[in-house]
Amino acid sequence: MGIVAGLDSSPDFTRIVVCDTDTGAVLRQGYAPHPVEGRPSDIDPQAWLLSLGEAAGGGLLEGVQAIGVSAQQNAVIPLDAQGNTVRPAMVGGDKRAQVAAADLVDALGGREAWAQAVGCVPQAAQPVTKLRWLAKNEPENALRTAALLQAHDWLVWQLLGRPVRRTTDRGGASGTGYWSAATGAYRPDLVELALGHQAMLPEVIGPSDAAGTTPEGLLISAGTGETMAAAFGLGIGLGDAVVSLGASGSVMAVHPEALTDQSGMITSLADATGMHLPVVTTLNAVRVLRGAAELLGLPDLESLSELAMKSTPGAHGLVLLPYLEGERTPNLPHTAGTLAGLRRESMKPQHLARAAFEGMLCGLADALDVLRGRGVDVRRIFLLGPAAELPAVQASAPSLFGTQVVVPQPADYTAIGAARQAAWALGVSQGTLDPRTPPAWQGAAAQVLEPGEELAVGQAVRQQFTAVREQTHPGAFRA
């Protein structure tokens, strides 16, 4: 068939991979940082185009037949009636919108009402919440806002030469807070609730549909958010979950239907294939390890892992409830961490190091149980993030999660997922691929870890953690 490109416009950079359409093999790649200092809450989206142009330099896209675009989620670009940006794009976690999130929850009648409406409860980062902030803090800009796009929508629109038709995909739309993965429809009333009036929203096209063709004849696929693109690049399917170890953590799994969770612990996203991606987030993951390393006077996480490996499963009875920044799962926003089980023999650095790893992983296992408790099948877990390579994580994760753990080799999975989407749209347009079946690319090269004989030990550690959690925060967590 030929070659396709996948573009990943992250918060910090643009990365492009050029792949063989049949196998997914990466043939060429380009990279460029955005010309922006730090991570501002507002950014001129032209910065994304500048780094895109730089990353694509040197003939990188020569011979490419189709491009897929993935981009940072939660960015919202307000446009006026002429299609010009009203103000810089609102990006990132955007803590200034926390009050706006609480306002919106109350305005619709509580967390349950939002979960029923769109499958998620407003958080500070979400576009719907940013619109509420805009209406309250920049009313003139809110009044001028006639249309709304997210980052990948805007980039696709620019690549196509700013046509009248503006598009998005299910994955991107599902994170806005004003589109429901369960019904597959927008809730314009929620845009009005947030912004003060309605606005034009992009057309949601199917996973294998093309958004259009550039003036030069390049096919542009639907595009999607970075989470959905990474899942597609990894090749996860039914029975698979992804545990992502950042400063905070997330657990998501592929599921055939949207989940409505009245507690608001599950965010019901759509994926890039026509399926669903329920996500549960924890506020505390690698920040727990960094805190433990600082407390123990260690220079890095590798040293913490090495020390933890000198202890044994269960950390001699030490249990760390890792709620250092409060917690979202369980919903304990104002709590602190707890260290339990202190005895003379357990008061050793290696046991505290081990308890930090086990506490972090047990917190993520709790999040996984939220999904399992709603009938999500999890037979295999993909563990992502640099901390996934640490021996102390790999030694504990399979037995604590109770299933096979796959640690993929580092690669540009988000850009690869975007390229795979481009190959799918190209194949469908040429009549060589089924619109319901994506191209079967080679899976991620990975290390596979089995719980094996350690399973019973891991489950005992989980029980010890659960007992401390229930004693400290009775009834706070219900999977």
- High-pLDDT (> 70) share of the chain, %: 99
Start-to-end C-alpha separation, the chain: 47
CA distance 101 to 79: 22
Query: Tens digits of per-residue pLDDT, 258-291?
Result: 998 877 889 999 999 999 999 999 999 999 999 9
- Residue 261 pLDDT: 82
CA distance 408 to 231: 12
Residue 319, both tokens: 């249990």
The residue among 284, 291, 283, 311 whose CA lies nearest residue 391 is 311
- Residue 444 pLDDT: 83
Phi, psi of 180 (to 5 degrees): -100, 125
Q: What is the mean predicted confidence (pLDDT) over 324-340?
A: 94
Res 479 pLDDT > 50:
no
Q: What is the largest CA-CA distance in the chain?
A: 73
Query: Tens digits of per-residue pLDDT, 94-146?
Result: 778 989 999 999 999 999 999 999 999 998 899 999 999 999 999 999 999 99
What is the reported pTM?
0.93
The residue among 329, 340, 391 whose CA lies nearest residue 365 is 329
To which residue do tokens 């693109």 refer?
Answer: 229
Q: What is the mean pLDDT of the chain?
A: 95
Res 1 pLDDT > 70:
no
Q: What is the mean predicted confidence (pLDDT) over 328-347?
A: 94
For the beta carbon of residue 386, count every other beta carbon within 10 angstroms.
11
The H-or-E segment that residue 278 falls in is strand 276-282
CA distance 376 to 398: 18
- Residue 333 pLDDT: 87
Q: What is the DSSP letter of 96?
A: G
- Residue 472 pLDDT: 97
To which residue do tokens 């009050």 refer?
Answer: 99
For the beta carbon of residue 379, count every other beta carbon within 10 angstroms.
10
The residue among 330, 324, 327 whose CA lies nearest residue 288 is 324
CA distance 307 to 99: 42
Q: List all residues 6 or more positions away from 463 whose beta carbon is below 8 Å from its beta carbon.
A: none
CA distance 446 to 458: 23
- Across 34-150, the runs of DSSP E, i.e. the strands, are 42-43, 64-71, 76-79, 89-90, 147-150
pLDDT confidence bin for 378, thresholds 50/70/90: very high
Helices 391-401 and 301-308 meet at what angle, rounded to 10?
A: 60
Res 473 pLDDT > 90:
yes
pLDDT confidence bin for 478, thresholds 50/70/90: low
pLDDT confidence bin for 198, thresholds 50/70/90: very high
